[in-house]
Amino acid sequence: MNEPWTQPVRPLDARSLRGLAHPLRMQLLTALRRSGPATASQLASKLGESSGATSYHLRQLAAHGFVEDAPERGKGRERWWRATHGGVTFDETLLKDPDPEVRGAADLFLHEIANHRTQELATWLGTRNDWSEEWARASDMSDYTLRLTPELALDLGKKMHELVKSYQALTPDDGTPDTEVVRVHMHVFPTRTD
């Protein structure tokens, strides 16, 4: 299986954003990226949805180029799906698009990303006792408050991205013991103080 972090990243435009900006579609795409090819029925069971809903939304994702058939996995009439990209990039100009539908889709997309990250963190907290002591010590939930200009905040974000990407080259072989997929969330945003 191609790991999602080794696959190309797709930039979102107004059309593809409208095709992706739906909570179930985003969940389906994440599930395919993380767990590999699956059928609509398997995804429905995993996500607590009906197979009719997952089938419909998988076809919508396919129409926008986010997923495709995985024919090597299917048997008979069974249709398997796989993600076509490892991730997406979001262009902030979509939030200022002249079309209100695009702006709404951009806003929904960003809120769904935030919700998903909150769920991931809550899942970690709820299952941390299931992990080894080494993994518990390796986890981190730090936060910092800094006084920065927009230029410095942009520079900080760029350097954090570069640091995280440098670890992609260090990915251990599949046979390395105690290797797990690790999620890294990054948030840099201004806030007002009283």
What is the CATH number for 100? 1.10.10.10
With a cut of 80, say whether residue 104 has pLDDT above it: yes
Residue 189 lies in a domain: no
| Total count of domains within the chain | 1
| Residue 172 banded pLDDT, cuts 50, 70, 90 | confident
Question: Domain range spanning residue 52?
Answer: 4-117+143-168
Domain assignment present for 127: no
Q: How buried is residue 28: exposed, middle or buried, by Cβ count under 10 Å (0-12/13-18/19+)?
A: buried
pLDDT tens track for 43-74: 999 999 999 999 999 999 999 999 999 878 76
153 in a structural domain: yes
CA 168/CA 135 separation, integer angstroms: 19
> Does the pTM exceed 0.75?
yes
Q: What is the mean pLDDT of the chain?
A: 91
The answer to the question of residue 177 being in a domain is no
42 lies in some domain? yes
Q: Is residue 24 part of a domain?
A: yes
Tell me the pLDDT tens digit for each residue of 82-91: 999 989 999 9
1 confidence band (pLDDT: 50, 70, 90): very low
The mean pLDDT of 88-113, rounded to a whole number, is: 95
- Whole-angstrom CA distances from 119 to 37, 62, 100, 126, 136 are 22, 26, 28, 10, 18
Question: Using CA atoms, how far apart are residues 82 and 62, in angstroms rounded to an integer?
Answer: 10
- The mean pLDDT of 139-149, rounded to a whole number, is 94
Q: Is residue 54 part of a domain?
A: yes
